[in-house]
Each structure stands twice: as structure tokens, then as C-alpha cells.
Amino acid sequence: MTEPLDPIGPLSKILTERGPLVEDDIAEYLREAGVADPARILRRLRLEIDLPAGQLIDGRWAWLPAVLAGRVFTRRVTEPEVSFDLLNITPDLAPIAALCDSAPYQRLADGSAVHYVMRGDDRLLCQLDIPADVVDAGGVLALAAGTFEALGVDDGDLIGLRLGDVGLVVERVSSATETTAGAQLTALLGTQPERVDALVWAVCLANPTLFTKPTAPLSELVAEHGLTQRGVWLVPPDFNFTRWVFTRECEQRAQRHRLADDDALTLTTLLRLHRLMVMRQLHESRPDTATVESAVIEFGDIMDDFGHAVGDPVIAELLAAETVQYGRLGAGGLRLLADALAPRVPPSARVACQWLRAVALEREGDVAGFERELLAAEAMDGQWPLPLLDLAGIASDRGDAETGLALLRRAGAPADHPLACLLQLHRVAPRTDLGRNAPCWCGSGRKYKTCHLRGLPLRDRVGWLYHKAIQHVLFGDWTDLRHAVAWERCRSTILDDDDAFNAALADPLVIDTVLFEGGAFDEFLTVRGALLPEDEWALAQQWSLAERSVFEIEHLHHDRSATARDVRTGDRHEVGVRMMSLPLQPGQLVCARVATDGAGLQFFALEPISPQQRDPLTALLAFGADPVELVAQLSGGAETSDRESGRTPGGEGDGAGSL
């Protein structure tokens, strides 16, 4: 049985004709329709990749064009929405805006574009000239400029979004009709919160005439019946939503970090305390000391019950890891939390508070203060591992492999710890069989005393320097960007490989573009550059100036070097090829950065490209590509989703790219 050219066609037909189905039934009907690999389509459903399908509150999947055909949902627009031709999505338009995740619905019926823009999608916000502060937490639909002016829309007017026969239509609504939708949503909701879009799809399936005429916005309908809207959720009256969210967070952290339930409860409580510290820092103009004192007065009992847990290195490390996303603001909150906890925890846990202060300083860019506080923590407890691990990282940055390895041994790090493996590669053991004035064993032609006796020469530390920058990406506030870039890297393969996303996180191209196009390398130099040996600092400065470009391989000089012509500038470079695993051919096109390794030019993050990619990539690089856009082009996906930052699947990656 052969695979249909478009397996989405059978899925659309199945869900339209048979109605919503559970996944097992979908798989069975797909096989009957000739789809050889239903699991691939089900993965696409779960990942929401360009499919206008939605999951109902009972777990079944529905084909949304069939559910929403002829339906119209309304919203009362605000002045910022009118000014920038935007429609805030949650909750009023959430049921129908979900269609805009799929390519056929990214244009309105009149042919104008509509973009689903999430908060934090800085690239798309900049492209569409939308201020970040007007984007609601649930995202916006960005319409073509002048849409509301053409419709005569003003602040407070009612706007409808309808799914018509030929696509989505934006219309001005003069009056709203009475409806029983609010009562039906209330009856279906039950005793637990549900997503507003899934709940509305369910009532639409039960009532074919519901929302076929413009009504009041969903937010007003549910409020009339005592329901509360919290983000994407509808909440029953008198329901303790805060406790429900807290319980869900505990369950998610237990699963994500493989924690016992009590440990997940402790971690979540500490993170809530951190969030409170951040909020107080934002809203109070008093000094830090007053902020700490007021927090202790209000939350002291909770700190007494849970604060001691920071003495567990696992809990302390996870607390630090989960607060990195808040950047400098989160760093201040972490320091305030450490200051509040320190007098209230047992002496054995105070080293953890000292370490948290050190982490806060590092995130604020104060690497000298970071080291100072780490040394203070080491003095408090020379066996507690986290300060020792960070001090080993500092020793690595300075090029001191022996000190770093000694600190790792004291911290109890396993032999296969990534930093231990890196440092072992760059140890220099003295040679007793060579005199100081003898030629160095490495073949450089220099005397042993001026070559490897003094430590590794720069050309042998290139990989070490690069991996120092990688560590900054892996443990810094670069997760969202790395995930977005990795998603573009694996977009075409993830349906066939469950591990494709984790592999993409470790892809050398993903790491390199986050470092250089994404700005992580410059931040690395700003924060930790002072720790680098002088020659590595100078080399890193040269790397930061080397722009990625498209090159044509003109000549190969045996296995030593190649002549590469920059397609955009016409400049020619002699580039070493001895360290490359990819064989090059004359006439071949590649995308790479050409930079020095301290001895000569080398290709960094080399990616072969096709002749068809040459001109688009050259143009993209000439105007300064961001990493998401660049990797999409290099991975064969020139047309990228409008929701990169919000559409990446969850995954844990611990690898990194190489030179």
C-alpha cells in the first residue's frame, strides 16, 4: 500500500465526515484510507504543525474548519488595537484564532495577511512594527495596516472574526444578538477549569447554530454567568484557581526534573517566594534591606518551613536554573531571597544562600563579585559542590585545567562530567624525555620550552575557547532562542524522529548561530571575557568580527587548504581544511564563517548549500539575518512559522556544537 501524496487530505476527510475522534480511531481510519504511517500524522497533530485541528476537553481531536464554518466571534477593540490594527486573542477570539496557526488561514478572505504574534516574538514584532507592550499575554492577530480605518472602527467598537466560505473575514459589528452561549458554556464547564477554545469548540459541536450570528464577546458572556477567565482558562465560580495552578506546577516539575512529590512541592514554593521578591522589587522604591524585612514579616513562616531545603544541592541548582529566564530582574530577586533565607536556615544550608548570591552577581554581569562570593561560599563549606563546580568553570575560563580538575574532584563530579572531559583534553603533562631546548614533540618547529612546556599554544586551545562560549549559552538566558532555532533545524524531520528536537539542540549550526547572529558570544565576552587568557581574548575579538557568508570553493590544495571566494564581496581566502570531516569539491557552495584559529583561517560552522539557496542566502546575510531566519533557510524551510517562540516542543538537550 503506497502513502498518499497528501496524508492530511484523508485526515481532513475523516474528521469532517466522522466528527471528533480519539487518536486510536484516527490511526485506524487513516490506515483504511491508505496512510502507511498514521503515527507520523498523529505526531503532527500533537505538535500542532500547520494543521487546523484542535483537541477537545475530552481528548478527542476535531477538524476546526468543519467545527467553525459560518461561526463568528467578537471583540471590543481598545485604542492600541485600533492604532496598530491588532486583535487581542484571549479569550474572545481564541476559538477561531487557532486557525491562523495553519498556512491556509494566514491570509484573510480578501487576500490580506494576518499574523499570529506571540509576546516575546521580537523578530516578528520588529518586522511588523508592533510595540511589545501592546501585545496581550495570549498573543494578537496582526492585520494589514489600514484595516480598521477602512472599516471605520474606533475604540470600543465591536469587531467580528468570521469563518466564511472562502476564508476568515474581519467585519465591523453594529449590534450583538442575544445568545444562550454563556449558559451552555457554564453547563459544560463542570467543576474544573478548562481551556476556553476547547470548551467553545465542544459547545459548537453540540449546537450547530451557536455563534452563527454576532454576539457579545466571550469574556462578557462568561462573566454574566459568574465564570472567571484566567489567561486561556475558564474557571468555575468559587474555584481556587491559585491552588490548582500551584498543584499543576508541582506535578510538572516532578515529571520534568524527576523529583519526589515533596521535593517538587518544596522547589515550587521556593520559586513562588522568588517571584514575590521580584514583584516587591518592582513595586517598592525602598532599599533592598527594607524589601527583605517586609517579605520576612509576611512570609517568614513559609521560609522557616521550606528554606532549609536550599541546602540540598539538587534543589538549590534547580532553583537557580528555573530563575535564569528572568534575567537581571530575576537576579535581584534571587539575591533578596538568599538574604531573607540566610538567617532562618540551619548553618549547613547557609552556604547555599551564599552561592545563590554569587549566582545573582554573575547574572548581573559582575564576574569579579561572582568569584568573590564563590570563594566565600567555599570557605563556609569546602565540600558543598555547587561553588566548587562554578570555581572549576572559572579555572577553565582562565585556561587552568589542573585547578579545574582538582575542584571537580572535590565536588565529587563523575569522570565523564562534561567539564572534566573538556579539561582532560587540554591538560599538559610534562615530558621527561625531552630537554627544554629540544624541538617540541608537536612538530611546530619551536623549542619545547617555548611551546608545550609553557602550556598549550593558542591553536590547540581554539576548541576550548569555543566550548567556553558554548557553556555560556547552555547555562545562560538563551534557552528560548536556542529552542526556536532548533525547531527550525528539525522542522522537516521531527515527524519521522522523536529525538529530532533534542538532536537539533546539540546541532553545531544551531549553537553557532545563537552565539554569533543571536548575540550570545558578545555577551560571553562582556560577562566572562576578563577571565580569558590574553591571547584567547584577542582571538575571540577577531571571531566576533568574522561575518557568516556564502563561499564558493574554487581550488583545493591537496589536503592542506582551499581557496574560497566570498560570493557577496568577491574576496578570496586561503582556508585550512585539515580539521574538516566534510570533503570539499571545486565549485561547491558552502555557508560558513571564515575566522582565524590563531595560526590561519578556518571554516567555522560550515554548511553545504545548493545552487538554489545561494542567492537567497547571500541576500539574507547581507542585510543581517537573525538565527531563526538563517537556520530556516539553511534547513530548507524558507517559509517559517509566525510563532517560532511559542511553537517549539519541550525537550532537554545537553549537547553542543563543535568547530
**For 439, which DSSP code?**
B
Rounded Cα–Cα distance for residues 455 and 450 (Å): 9
At 124 the pLDDT is: 86
pLDDT of 657 > 60? The answer is no
At 578 the pLDDT is: 64
The DSSP annotation for 46-94 comes to HHT-S--EEE-TTS-EEEHHHHHTT-EEEEE--HHHHHHTEEE-TTTTH
Cβ–Cβ < 8 Å for 77, 149? no
Rounded Cα–Cα distance for residues 629 and 336 (Å): 39
- Percentage of residues of the chain with pLDDT beyond 70: 88
For 459-471, the three-class secondary structure string (H helix, E strand, C coil) is HHCHHHHHHHHHH
At 480 the pLDDT is: 87
How many CA atoms within 13 Å lie on the side-chain side of 201?
Answer: 29
Cβ–Cβ < 8 Å for 74, 176? yes
Going by pLDDT thresholds of 50, 70 and 90, the confidence category of residue 281 is confident
At 2 the pLDDT is: 43
**For 182, which DSSP code?**
H
**Better-scored residue on pLDDT, 347 or 290:** 347
Nine cell digits for residue 204 = 459548537
Among residues 634, 594, 640, which one has the least CA distance to residue 612?
634
Taking the whole predicted model, whether its pTM rises above 0.95 is answered as: no
Going by pLDDT thresholds of 50, 70 and 90, the confidence category of residue 614 is very high
Rounded Cα–Cα distance for residues 422 and 469 (Å): 13
494: Cβ–Cβ under 8 A, 6 or more apart, which residues? 43, 47, 49, 500, 501, 649
Most confident of 337-346, 552-561, 569-578: 337-346
The DSSP annotation for 481-494 comes to HHHHHHHHHHTTTT
pLDDT of 637 > 60? The answer is no
The DSSP annotation for 616-643 comes to HHHHHHHT---HHHHHHHHTT--S--TT
Q: How many helices (H) and strands (E) does the chain have?
A: 29, 16
At 583 the pLDDT is: 81
What would the mean pLDDT of 484-502 be, rounded to a whole number? 83
pLDDT of 494 > 90? The answer is no
pLDDT of 563 > 90? The answer is yes
At 439 the pLDDT is: 77
How high is the mean pLDDT of the chain? 88
What would the mean pLDDT of 137-162 be, rounded to a whole number? 94
What would the mean pLDDT of 545-559 be, rounded to a whole number? 90
Rounded Cα–Cα distance for residues 239 and 242 (Å): 9
At 293 the pLDDT is: 63
How many CA atoms within 13 Å lie on the side-chain side of 298?
Answer: 10
Rounded Cα–Cα distance for residues 517 and 509 (Å): 11
What would the mean pLDDT of 470-495 be, rounded to a whole number? 88
Rounded Cα–Cα distance for residues 338 and 304 (Å): 13
Torsion of CA 580, 582, 586, 588, to 10 degrees: -120
Going by pLDDT thresholds of 50, 70 and 90, the confidence category of residue 119 is confident
What would the mean pLDDT of 307-316 be, rounded to a whole number? 95
At 69 the pLDDT is: 96
Cβ–Cβ < 8 Å for 452, 433? no
The per-residue pLDDT for range 232-271, each reduced to its tens digit, is 999 999 899 999 999 999 999 999 999 999 999 999 999 9
At 122 the pLDDT is: 81
How many CA atoms within 13 Å lie on the side-chain side of 406?
Answer: 6
At 656 the pLDDT is: 31
At 1 the pLDDT is: 38
At 430 the pLDDT is: 65
At 504 the pLDDT is: 92
Give CA separation, 538 vs 19, 145, 234, 544, in Å. 64, 47, 57, 10
At 204 the pLDDT is: 97
Going by pLDDT thresholds of 50, 70 and 90, the confidence category of residue 7 is low
pLDDT of 414 > 70? The answer is yes
At 205 the pLDDT is: 96
The per-residue pLDDT for range 25-47, each reduced to its tens digit, is 999 999 999 888 898 889 888 88
